[in-house]
Amino acid sequence: MSVPLSVAVTLGLLFFLSAGLNEQVAEGCTCLQRHPQRVFCESDIVIRAKVIGNVASTLPNLIAYNIKVITTYKPSIKKDIRVIYSTKICGAHLENGEYLLSGNIVDGVMIFGLCDLVWRWDQLSSVQKGNLSMYQRGCVCEITSCTGASCLTKKLQRKCLIGVKKSLSLDYEDALQAVCLPRSDGSCKWQK
């Protein structure tokens, strides 16, 4: 299948613009630390997939991977995705094996990068694997960082805080094992 140059350029531009819109700030080839639930909620698609190998890319400046989707967490689409793409510069490079992957859909193609979820499946804890099924419900909540006095605020509404471990916030390591979920009163709270 041959892809016109204009489509390839559009895909490339949309990918880089979507990175900026998702507050994915990359300096060099690093990203701001974000909770996986936040990445999940900001992504168009989240899948567990087995990478079978590289394939020839029909799109310039992108690496193509042949995959077999094992589970689709977001959205619940029936489309059979067989090839996914990552940028050559500052993209995530995959080996054969199973991964949890998130990304954006651009012109019907899944594109992922360094700032998306790109985790080897066997390196996720059983708690993290279980949390994946609850992340969608928590997308109405905001997960935000806090420092000092901002961690002590009582008026959180739809926020869960990551910062110095206090009664209202979790440190990042504890937050990785938790889900931010809405409560019946309209507020949000970390749940382990």
What is the full per-residue pLDDT of the chain (192 aa) written as tens digits?
A: 555 555 444 544 444 444 444 444 445 788 888 999 999 999 999 999 999 999 999 899 999 999 999 999 998 666 788 999 998 888 889 999 999 999 999 888 999 999 999 999 999 999 999 999 999 999 999 998 887 776 666 566 788 988 766 666 788 888 889 999 999 998 999 998
User: pTM above 0.85?
Assistant: no
Instruction: Please report which residue ranges of 43-155 form alpha helices under DSSP H.
Output: 126-135
Q: Find the helix or strand (DSSP H, E) in which 181 lies.
A: strand 179-182
Nearest to 103 by CA among 134, 63, 58: 63
29 assigned binding-site residue: yes
Cα separation, 109 vs 141, whole angstroms: 28
